[in-house]
Structure formats: structure tokens, C-alpha cells
A = this chain, B = another copy of it.
Amino acid sequence: MADTKIYRASTTAPVNIAVIKYWGKRDVTLNLPTNSSLSVTLSQSDLRTHTTASCSSTFTSDTLHLNSAPQDITGARLQACLRALRSLRAAHEASNPSLPPLSTLPLRLASRNNFPTAAGLASSAAGFAALVRAIADLYELPSSPTELSLIARQGSGSACRSLFGGYVAWNAGTATDGSDSSAELVAEAAHWPDMRAAILVASAKKKAVSSTAGMQATVKTSSLFPHRAETVVPARMAAMRAAIAGRDFAAFADLTMKDSNSFHAVCLDTTPPIFYMSDVSRAAVRVVEGINAAAAADGITRPVAAYTFDAGPNAVVYYLAEDEARVAGAFKALLGSVEGWETARGAVVQAADVARVVAYDEGAAETLAGGIQRVILTGVGEGPISVSEHLVNEAGEVILE
């Protein structure tokens, strides 16, 4: 009798926000970067992708649903991931003939984000990490997260970092086949659990230039870029590892802000120039400077907040739990009417006195207040988590929302 069982495995996977930025590919097909990068994995209580991988002889072809909508699965990046995972499963089956031949069965994949895709948050990292982790679990692969990161990287570069929680490096590697371009755990979330992040979501406009197209244009045309990739970033990677090892927020903040600015500088140095930061983003920079100046005036001898911007106008502001009132409280005072002030821990942030922050740059405070539509308060979190809630039911049907 033929095996008509529906095999299933589900996982959630996190978003990560880089503090040393990935920008530039040395191999576009394999998603090999020009420089190493380092990120903080954010809590899945606030931002996660939930993915179920299932397979069965009763399915007729590979399919993928995202937020209940069927997706095109013919893209080269997705196909590269499926091919690599099936190949590992086939090897696993060859070495253990009692295993069912799942590598030969069609896959039915279903995925949901717990955050609005339209918010301009980089969802591809969580998406590919969850997809690779879920299929690896379905296939019962013995691969380590670093090994799986080699596969997720081919789906979306930064996805490789979402296979770990905490503080994660993506080592650029030197091999032409990409075999050493993988993610590595720098420190677990528990090593420095007090890291918090406030995401200031700018009023939505579509991203002008896709990351892949932008990176290629920068590599091809920026005269400043090689210096960043070859000299500036390697020094910062070493310094950031040391900052994290020593839980040194002053160094972490300085490096984070400098590297965000360096990344956007090489975007601006591209022909034609790429602009991801808007007047609202620049206002967020000045408000963070104002928050740090107010803290300094109170005798705090280190910055309390650090901004970083990805390929869009949203600001991500890192801070320590002990400074929540100063940092998140200042944003609450400036942006009170937008949603998102409940933390995952259930507390609601209280508005702080921001007279000095406003005085630092009144125009910036006003521009920020007018340009942010939503706040997400989160913090450092865990890597992918295996879950028993499946998005494909026992009959093999995708559960629609």
C-alpha cells in the first residue's frame, strides 16, 4: 500500500537587524557578500514568521502560501533552497534506508507573519530562515544551524543570520563556492539579555530601489565602497565582537550608528544615488542625538540610544532595559498618538519629560512626530523555535486565516 501520510513540521523564525551592515554581493547567484556583517536577533513575541513544511505523495506539486495567498515558487532563490534541502534529505535516506523517501515527495509550504508586510520590515530574512528550518525539521536533517545558514543565505543573504538567536555574525568567507560564507553565533541572547529595540515605522511608501539591485549598483559604481568593504568593516566587525563580549553599550552604540551611516553613505555614492533615508529618518537621528545629549547632561557618561537604518526609512533604535524610560519614554512623549506602546512583557511605556530632547533640535522633533505611523517595542530574542501549531492540517490542506 502506498504511503499517503501527510508529513509535517512547523517552526517560527525571527527577524534580525544588522548593526554592521551587509551591503554588496561578490556573487549574486550564491548571495556571497563583499563583507561580513553582524546582527541582533529580535524577539519573536513581537516579530516572527511561522512556517509549516509538509510533504505527501498525495500532493501533486510544490506549493507555497504566504499569509493565505499562493506564491510563485519558481524563483531561483527559493528553488536553490529546496534543491539543497532535498539533496541533504536524499543523502540522509541513502545512508538510512528505513527512512521514508520524503526527498521525492511534493512539498506544501505555508507561512504567516505576525507583522504587517507593508510596514517595510525586512521579512525575507525571517521568511527564508523559517522555510529552511521547517523543511530541515520535516526532513529530520542532522545539520547544524551554521550548515543550514549556508542554504538560507541562498534564499536571502540576511536570512542566514536568523537561524540563531542573540548576537550573530555572517562571515563573508573567501571560497568561490560559498562553502565558508555562513552564520555564526557570537553570543546568545542570555549573554546580554537587556538589549532593547524600538522600531519607528515611517509612514509607508514603497521602497524605491530593491536591495539586490541597489547592492549591485553600489558595487559597480561607488568609488568609496571598496574602502568600506575591505578596510572599514573588517575593523568594525572585530570591535563589535569585543563590544558584545564585554557588554559595552557605548562601543556598541558608536559602532552601530557609524556603520549605518557608512552604509547609507556608499548608497549615496552610487550612480545614480540611492536614497533610503528620508527627512523623517534624519529627524530620528537628531532625536537620538538629543536623547543622548539629555542623558549626558544628567551625568550619564555613555550614549543610551543608538540608531540604525536598513534599506528604507524606518529607524531601529537600540537601547538597554535600564534606559527604557529615557529612550522609549522620549519617543512615547514625541509620538504618543501612534500605536505600539505595549511591550511584549505587558508594560506600557510612560512618556518621559522631553523638553531637552526637543530643545536639541525642535524641527527634528516636529518632523519625527509627523512622519512615524507606528512603533514596535521589542528586544533581543531567540532563534527558530519548533512549534506544534501547523498551518497545514491533517488532511494536507493549508489553513487559511
Contact = CB atoms under 8 A, between A and B. Distances in A.
A264 B282 CA distance: 14
Q: How large is the interface on A (under 10, 10 to 19, 20 to 34, 35 or more residues)?
A: 20 to 34
A252 to B, nearest CB: 15
A189 interface: no
A80 interface: no
Contact of A258 (B257, B261, B271, B278): B271
A113 interface: no
A265 B224 contact: yes
Nearest to A260: B273
Interface in A245-296: 254, 257-258, 261-262, 264-266, 268-273, 275, 278-279, 282, 285, 289
B224 A262 contact: yes
Interface string A113-148: 000000000000000000000000000000000000
A47 B228 CA distance: 40
Interface string A368-387: 00000000000000000000
Contacts of A264: 268
Nearest to A269: B265
23 contacts: A223-B228, A223-B231, A223-B232, A224-B227, A224-B228, A224-B232, A224-B266, A254-B271, A258-B269, A261-B269, A261-B270, A261-B271, A261-B273, A262-B269, A264-B268, A265-B265, A265-B266, A265-B268, A265-B269, A272-B285, A272-B289, A273-B285, A279-B279
